[in-house]
Amino acid sequence: MFHQARQVLFHYMEHCPGGNDPCGVVLQGARGRVVFEQPVLLPHEQFVPIDLLRGRPTTRANGRLRMQRPAR
């Protein structure tokens, strides 16, 4: 489950380099989506919070933690 959620998150980070900071990933079977607010889940969905998906945290200029983006 965590592997799949990380893949969804990394895909988002690669394709939206300046995008908003997500709060987590919602998994629905083999598919997933990045969410930016606490979701209301359907019975067959699972929410994985961003804190469980982060690798080594880094500090940004504004003091918020952010996951490092994969190198290109």
22-55: pLDDT as tens digits: 999 999 988 999 999 999 999 999 999 998 887 6
Half-sphere exposure of 68 (CA within 13 A, CB side): 7
Strand partners, 34: 25
pTM above 0.95, yes or no: no
Q: Where are the domains of the chain?
A: 2-67
8-31: pLDDT as tens digits: 999 998 888 787 889 999 999 889
